[in-house]
Amino acid sequence: MSSELSARALHLLQTVFGYPAFRGQQADIVEHVGSGGDALVLMPTGGGKSLCYQIPALLRDGVGVVVSPLIALMQDQVDALAEVGVRAAFLNSTQTFEESMRIERLVRTGEIDLVYVAPERLLTPRCLELFEASRIALFAIDEAHCVSQWGHDFRPEYIRLSILHERFPDVPRIALTATADQQTRAEIAMRLQLEDARQFVSSFDRPNIRYLVVEKTNGRKQLIDFITSEHAGDCGIVYCLSRKKVEETAEFLCEHGIRALPYHAGMEHPVRAANQARFLREENIVMVATIAFGMGIDKPDVRFVAHLDLPKSIEGYYQETGRAGRDGLPATAWMAYGLQDVVLQRRMIDESEADENFKRVLSTKLDAMLGLCETLHCRRTRLLSYFGETSGPCGNCDTCLLPPVSFDGTVPVQKLLSTIYRVDQRFAAGHVIDVLRGVEGERIKQWHHDSLSVFGIGADRSEQEWRAILRQAIALGLVTVDHEQFSSLKLTEAARPVLKGGQKVQLRQYQKPVKQKKPSSTR
């Protein structure tokens, strides 16, 4: 029986969607859900999640209901399905009452294959009653990580989706997400009552993406160098943290002959939509954007994704960089990162309205991100291990291509820690580094810091080197930045054994960036 089902599934794939074969775990998932099983699917962006519910919905009697938080994309999805002859529609707040009446009628009479609904809409009594009165093939819960309270896309309505299991016990459910560490995965299963569902976890590796992280000295200038030397004329995305920086960076790129457009949520809707349309349509646009840009964007030939600011978490980094190279051809994920990023991200957490518990979660996620930036080992290995996968050195990231030199940094770190201690943990990075390097200055004199025993003990290193050491000390959790007190540096408990000499610290030696040679085959 199941082989008959697989044959029908393959037939639909080929005749309706026009693809010769299933990819990865698609065939297994389609068969499992098609024959009535529940599933939790973890598959990277671009992996082909949509077919995992679209084909089972066609295989089974009744209407497939797709719960998605991305109202803005529903029209596109419905249009794409209409193009291949699948009868799809959506129910959301953007349509008129008459229009939704019409769709509801189609659902009730089964004259439709798939209906997309926003979670808040689905949870209305009217909608639940409609589905109870109709024949439902399956429920697909897209972007299922939105159920996680600790995630950055938390949607309270998602938690209430457990109602589907209670009210429709016989309808198979498939939850899908591209981003979930072990903990989030467990939370999805628990909250959506999918503990007994079969889990399909695909590899998160994107072998065609080359990961590069450079030490930030002059971010924009480094970005220009990166684009012109490695991706001239290519299509790419540049992520910045703030709207202001998005606009400034786009302008700066344009001044340097790069066809850049800005995109952020504060722009007028028509302008934003026009920029997005140009990015999708034209060949060599560089979109400079906040993370508001990209969810659901399916442009296969994005050749690079650049981060001018540190992402908040590895999930975010993975999702954003994952928009590069969906066509499978070589692409680059480039990031410039510096001490200021660490300080800023920590401050954003400290100053956020979140409760202590949540701040701790954010802080742990940031630490994992910093660990990825400062690692001495393969970045891909580190990235994949975050998602629970083990792998060897990849040969396609900066640490593999140009292995970082590490050194015993115990002594310089001790110098740094004792200087922070000697200035009573009341001064920020700039001042501490000046004391270390023995720089005479007004403020140093005013506080008599030139008479401290630590004054000038770090004169053998440049300011840049000290910044790198401090950044790593922060990443290692030896030092924190206190934002309530003028960003002053403070020692943590973990600093004690290092200061006392019982614990050694291995640091990364930052090298002058070496230009990578462009492969001769590209245009």
Tell me which residues touch ligand ADP (CB under 6 A). 19, 22-23, 26, 43, 45-51, 298
Which among 266, 268, 263, 264 has a CA at the least distance from the CA of 280? 263
* Site stretch for Zn ion (CB under 5 A), options 309-317, 362-370, 389-397, 496-504: 389-397
Q: Which does 51 bind (CB under 5 to 8 A by kind): Zn ion, ligand ADP, none?
A: ligand ADP
- Asked if 378 interacts with Zn ion (CB under 5 A), we say yes
CB of 86 to ligand ADP, least distance (A): 13
* Site stretch for Zn ion (CB under 5 A), options 86-94, 319-327, 396-404, 507-515: 396-404
Nearer to Zn ion, 218 or 509 (CB): 509
Q: Which does 50 bind (CB under 5 to 8 A by kind): Zn ion, ligand ADP, none?
A: ligand ADP
- Asked if 333 interacts with Zn ion (CB under 5 A), we say no
For the chain, the distance separating the N- and C-terminal CA atoms, rounded to the nearest angstrom, is 52
Nearer to Zn ion, 212 or 435 (CB): 212
Q: Which does 380 bind (CB under 5 to 8 A by kind): ligand ADP, Zn ion, none?
A: Zn ion
- Binds Zn ion by CB under 5 A, chosen from 260, 397, 432, 478: 397
Measure the CA–CA gap between 266 and 192, rounded to whole angstroms: 34
Show contacts of 98-104: CB within 8 Å, 24+ apart: 104/130
Q: Which does 397 bind (CB under 5 to 8 A by kind): Zn ion, ligand ADP, none?
A: Zn ion
- Asked if 382 interacts with Zn ion (CB under 5 A), we say no
CB of 68 to ligand ADP, least distance (A): 10
CB of 207 to Zn ion, least distance (A): 10
* Site stretch for Zn ion (CB under 5 A), options 63-71, 90-98, 262-270, 395-403: 395-403
Nearer to ligand ADP, 47 or 458 (CB): 47
Query: Under 8 Å CB-to-CB from 23, ≥6 apart: which residues?
Result: 47, 48
Report whether 435 contacts 452 (CB < 8 A).
Answer: yes
Nearer to ligand ADP, 49 or 303 (CB): 49
- Asked if 394 interacts with Zn ion (CB under 5 A), we say yes
**Which conformational region is residue 448 in: left (phi greater than 0), alpha (psi within -120 to 50 degrees), or beta?**
left
Nearer to ligand ADP, 47 or 412 (CB): 47
CB of 191 to ligand ADP, least distance (A): 21
3-state SS, 133-202, equals CCCEEEEEECCHHHHCCCCCCCCHHHHHHHHHHHHCCCCCEEEEECCCCHHHHHHHHHHCCCCCCEEEEC
Which helix or strand (DSSP H or E) is residue 405 part of? Answer: strand 405-408
Measure the CA–CA gap between 162 and 197, rounded to whole angstroms: 13
Query: Under 8 Å CB-to-CB from 2, ≥6 apart: which residues?
Result: 31, 35
Nearest-10 Cα torsion for 362, 364, 370, 376: -160
Q: Which does 394 bind (CB under 5 to 8 A by kind): Zn ion, ligand ADP, none?
A: Zn ion
Instruction: Kindly write down the DSSP assignment for every residue of 85-150, as one continuous string.
Output: T--EEEE-TTS-HHHHHHHHHHHHHT--SEEEE-HHHHTSHHHHHHHHTS-EEEEEE-SGGGG-TT
Nearer to Zn ion, 174 or 378 (CB): 378
Q: Which does 19 bind (CB under 5 to 8 A by kind): ligand ADP, Zn ion, none?
A: ligand ADP
3-state SS, 443-490, equals HHHHCCHHHCCCCCCCCCCCHHHHHHHHHHHHHCCCEEEEHHHCCEEE
Beta strands of 251-319 (E only): which ranges?
260-263, 286-289, 304-307
Find the binding residues for Zn ion in span 256-315 (CB under 5 A). Answer: none
Nearer to ligand ADP, 201 or 254 (CB): 201
Q: Which does 400 bind (CB under 5 to 8 A by kind): ligand ADP, Zn ion, none?
A: Zn ion
Q: Which does 479 bind (CB under 5 to 8 A by kind): ligand ADP, Zn ion, none?
A: none
Q: Which does 214 bind (CB under 5 to 8 A by kind): Zn ion, ligand ADP, none?
A: none
Nearer to ligand ADP, 68 or 399 (CB): 68
Residue 447 φ then ψ, to 5°: -95, 5
Which helix or strand (DSSP H or E) is residue 408 part of? Answer: strand 405-408
CB of 272 to ligand ADP, least distance (A): 22
* Site stretch for Zn ion (CB under 5 A), options 184-192, 366-374, 399-407, 481-489: 399-407
- The total number of residues shown for the chain amounts to 523
Which among 235, 458, 519, 487 has a CA at the least distance from the CA of 339? 487
* Site stretch for Zn ion (CB under 5 A), options 123-131, 367-375, 388-396, 443-451: 388-396
Which helix or strand (DSSP H or E) is residue 212 part of? Answer: strand 209-215
Nearer to ligand ADP, 142 or 187 (CB): 142
Nearer to ligand ADP, 83 or 484 (CB): 83
Q: Which does 37 bind (CB under 5 to 8 A by kind): Zn ion, ligand ADP, none?
A: none
- Binds Zn ion by CB under 5 A, chosen from 303, 380, 449, 508: 380
Report whether 306 contacts 237 (CB < 8 A).
Answer: yes
Query: Under 8 Å CB-to-CB from 17, ≥6 apart: which residues?
Result: 51, 54, 55, 84
CB of 53 to ligand ADP, least distance (A): 9
Nearer to ligand ADP, 19 or 486 (CB): 19
- Binds Zn ion by CB under 5 A, chosen from 384, 400, 423, 435: 400
Nearer to ligand ADP, 153 or 450 (CB): 153
**Which conformational region is residue 456 in: left (phi greater than 0), alpha (psi within -120 to 50 degrees), or beta?**
left
Sign of CA dihedral 370, 371, 372, 374: positive
The binding site for Zn ion (CB under 5 A) comprises 378, 380, 394, 397, 400
